[in-house]
Amino acid sequence: MSNREATDTIIGYFYQFDHSISKLLELNRIDDYITIEGIEDIDIKTIDENTAIQCKYYAKTEYNHSVIAKPIRLMLEHYKEVKNGRKTSVNYYLYGHYKSGQDKLILPLTKNFLKEKFLTYKKDKITYYHHNELNLLDKDLDDFITKLTLDINALNYDAHLENILKMLEVQFNCSRFEAEHFYYNNALKVIKEIATKNDVTERVISKKDFLNEIDKRQLLFDEWFVRFKGKKKLLSNLRKEYFTNLNTSPFERFFLIEIDKTNYLRSELKELIFFISKKWSNISKREPIPFCPYIYVHNISESALIELKKDLQRENFKFVDGFNFQGASFSKRSICITANYENQIKIKIVNKIEYLDLIIDETSKTKEIYQFYRQKPYFNLDNASIKHVSIQYENLNDLKEII
């Protein structure tokens, strides 16, 4: 498969995911639900009706009747099962976007057009009449047509996504960045996980459960969202949203960084500490309110942390960690000492996660917490007055592109 074909395939998947997201957001009642990959790509269940939706995206392909003929025949097979009392009645909806050729489809649909263009086909030089094989009469086809909606003028990918982001902004009363990077990102993950369930009963989700699942103000580094944005663009957006300031305010900033303790390089971690210190410290004589950041490394062993501190000390990089002498207890006052030109403190290392709450309570300055995690957040803060950003990441070096 060429790169172009692969890209087209991925966009097709996104379009189907997006259609599921939009249909969930459009549901009128909180307890209405959809089934992903049920009878069709999406099944919608409300108090009023059941609808089975087939969704296709062919942005570079001309519309031809053959493209939608097979899905329509499958819908007709389901209709026959309903007629025989073996399935529940539904409405059928075929939704698609095509480059051109939409004028070939004459609407409203007639039974003769249905027979000729969609139900009659050839295989191995033999002509088949699908309605005859199903023993359906003209009156059955007329009834089927009343339950069938064809829309081959669907929105293109960008316009479809724009509608979703607008709905998310309204639903969560949030900014465009939050709608895209938090809620849409989470929505993609939820829909993707549901779509891969083997049991159809596990591919059902209500609007209420969907909204609860995606209502997380933390950024996932989900593989599908990374494909959607592109890794470089995603990292750039994060830096622009959270870490680009013309004038860095003298806040108390906490950088919480989870490492893979079995697969990380101390040299990379040390470089990241230097990078954070250089960007988020100011202890010059001219700074009226000098400051430096706190760093907590999650999952690092006690011995590895000691070796990291030894490296910093050997390189004459001044830090404090709240311990004033060997055998001393942790002192929140000691670690909260103001960094300045005289003491040359460039970083404050938090040894244990339990110390974070103590330090946060001790300092009276404006505080910002940036938590970087690998699988799930590990620090919770129930304080609406403190900015707390949680971001999933892949590689330590990626953080230098964000921070």
**CATH code: domain of residue 302:** 3.40.309
| Overall average pLDDT of the 102-125 stretch | 95
As given in the structure block, the two tokens for residue 325 are 């002498």
Label residue 20 by pLDDT band (50, 70, 90).
very high
Per-residue pLDDT at 224 exceeds 80: no
Give me the chain's average pLDDT, please.
Answer: 90
CA distances from 182 to 186, 216, 238, 284 (A): 6, 7, 11, 37
Amino acid at 112: N
Phi, psi for residue 121 in degrees, rounded to 5:
-150, 165
Residue with the larger pLDDT of the pair 311 and 249: 311
Phi, psi for residue 168 in degrees, rounded to 5:
-70, -40
Q: Give the range of the structural domain holding residue 259, as residue numbers without chain letter.
A: 230-402
Amino acid 250: pLDDT: 87
Phi, psi for residue 291 in degrees, rounded to 5:
-160, 160
Label residue 360 by pLDDT band (50, 70, 90).
very high
Q: 253 and 383: one domain? A: yes
| Overall average pLDDT of the 83-103 stretch | 93
Choose the weakest-confidence range: 6-15, 53-62, 185-194.
6-15
DSSP annotation string for 82-101: HHTTSS---EEEEEEEEEE-
User: Do 106 and 65 meet the contact criterion of CB atoms below 8 Å apart?
Assistant: no
User: Do 251 and 291 meet the contact criterion of CB atoms below 8 Å apart?
Assistant: yes
Label residue 6 by pLDDT band (50, 70, 90).
very low
The domain total for the chain is 2
Amino acid 3: pLDDT: 46
Per-residue pLDDT at 38 exceeds 70: no
Q: 299 and 355: one domain? A: yes
3-class SS letters over 246-305: CCCCCCEEEEEEECCCCCCCHHHHHHHHHHHHHHHCECCCCCCCCECCEEEEECCCHHHH
Q: 237 and 178: one domain? A: no
| Overall average pLDDT of the 86-104 stretch | 93
| The dihedral formed by the CA atoms of 103, 104, 107 and 113, expressed in degrees to the nearest 10 | 170
Domain boundary among 185, 218, 251: 218
Residue with the larger pLDDT of the pair 226 and 285: 285
Q: 257 and 193: one domain? A: no
| Overall average pLDDT of the 172-195 stretch | 91
As given in the structure block, the two tokens for residue 214 are 């995606």
Amino acid 4: pLDDT: 47
The H-or-E segment that residue 206 falls in is strand 204-206
Q: 213 and 238: one domain? A: no
| Overall average pLDDT of the 187-193 stretch | 90
The H-or-E segment that residue 10 falls in is helix 3-26
